[in-house]
Every structure is written in C-alpha cells, then in structure tokens.
Amino acid sequence: MLFGEHAVVYGSPCIVTAVDQRVRVSVEPNGEGEIHVCSPNVGLDEYHKKIGSLGKDDLPKSMAFVEMLVKRFYEKYQIKEGIRISTESDFSTQFGFGSSAAVVSALSKALSGYWEITMSKKEMFELAYQAVLDVQGVGSGFDVAASVYGGTIYYVTPGKVIERIYTGDLPMVIGYTGVKADTPTLVRQVAELKRNEKWVESVFGDIASLVNEAKKYFSTKDFVQLGKLMDRNQELLSTLNVSSKELDLLIKVARKSGAEGAKLSGAGGGDCMIALVKDEGRAQVGEAINQAGGVWMQVKTGAEGVRWEK
C-alpha cells in the first residue's frame, strides 16, 4: 500500500503496487472426494478436507484462505471432484506483503485453468476478495487487486475502480519492522474510533484528497512531491493510532538518511514501512533501516499480476 490506508475501507481511494515476490500454486487430481493441500512454507505438509465440509468446523489459520477460495469456486461452478493443491512462496508470510491475497489470487487462476473455465481478471478478483472477506470479515480488497492486476493501481473499494496509473519499478525502499501486525484487529480498532470520534471523518477526507493529489504526481513522475505526500499521509495515520514505535523509528531513519518521504504501509501496528528514495540513495537508506533493527526488503514494485508459469 502506497497511499490511503484505513480510509479505503470506507470507500475512499487508495494507491497500491504489486511486488515481485511470488506465491505459486499448482493443482492436480487426487482421485478422492477430498481437497488435499500441501503448504510447507506455512508448516502444513498435508491437509485433508472432504468437499462437503469445506468452510465448516474450525479452520486452521494457515489454511483458511485456501479452503474458503476452493469452497467459493466449487459452489460457483458446481464441482464435486477432489484435487491436490500445492503452494510455495518466494517470501515468508511473516512480512505482511499481502501473502493471503496472493494465495487466493493464484489459486483462483490455477483452479480456472485446471477446470478449463475462462475467468476475467475482474471475476478472479471478485472470487478471491470474497474468500478474504469470508475469513477476515473485514478488508478493502486492495491487496487482492494488486495481486490479480499487477502494476501500480488506483483502487476504490470494493473494486469499483481499478486503474493502472504507473508502469515499472518505483524508486522505493521497503523496511520490515520485525513485528507481525494483526490487520483485522487494527481495522476494527479504527472502526471503533470512527464510531466514537467525529473528527475521524475529516481525517479520512484529508486522506482521500491526498490520494487523488498523489495520483496526479504519478503521471508526472514527481517523486519529490510524492515523498511530501507520504510524510503527510503518515501524520494522518498517526492520528488514528495505527503506527508503532518500530514503524516510527524506521520512518525516522529513512528520512534522515535521504528519503524524499516515508510512511507505514498497510494496516500499521508493525509489518512494513516504505520510503521514496532516488535510485542512487537506496543503499544508504536500506542500510540505515538494517542498522536501526529493521530488515531492508530488496524487492521491485509495479510487478506483473497473477500469471501462468510452466
């Protein structure tokens, strides 16, 4: 997430980009009336569930998104046959890089290919987003949109607008705090604040205006102005109490070491921060993040969305 956290849940726009770390999903027959899942990256070597029981009983946290996506797909297309699903990831799920969104997006692509069903990107987005809502209960879907469509996009919940606004890698450094954030809890925390404090609406309005201003600067590649808007977005998010001492520290050192601007990325509470940095300054800012106790995540932005690989 580049701009617009939390306000996006209530219909305001946001700007989000896809990173080049990928989740891979493969599907094959198993000859049984069950779903078998192998996901060693989340510690599950083998998970079994009868098709008629999908979505029922307690769902293991690591399997909930996969199971609900399969349930939705099977109900939509009236499928009864069992399959074996295998997943692998380029990155650890601890980093808060939208891994659940990537999994459901990749799985929707894999299932449609396996069953030879033509699905548009919009259809894949809607199916994957619904699976996320089934599990979390809340969420704006921006991470699903980034996973399906790729690139850097301007997004309005629930997929009302999905518009590509920038192509290619952004001059950006990403830092991980070392703290795993709980997105649903943070979203509910802001919702409670919104119910009790009238001023939150004006903060959301300021964030929406900022996002629309940022959209214009992407078209002109004015990263100095975008950096200033990042700093302003961070100030607004701090008033919602979603930043943290770890995020604040990494943001501070990034700015001090040459970033044009920096902010948290996502729900807050931990996970990642981002900084806009001229290409020649990336290493300096990245090393400063490492020295402050964070982890410099060396990834490219504006990556391609869901795709076939052989």
**Contact predicate 146/18, CB 8 Å:** yes
**Contact predicate 270/278, CB 8 Å:** no
**Contact predicate 103/66, CB 8 Å:** yes
Verify whether residue 143 is a known catalytic residue. yes
- From 143, 182, 206, 248, the catalytic residue: 143
**Contact predicate 233/273, CB 8 Å:** no
- Pure H helices in the chain: 64-77, 99-114, 121-136, 142-149, 183-196, 199-220, 223-239, 245-256, 282-291
CA distance 53 to 47: 13
**Contact predicate 267/187, CB 8 Å:** yes
Measured from the Cβ of residue 26, the count of other Cβ atoms closer than 10 Å reads 15
Catalytic residues: 143
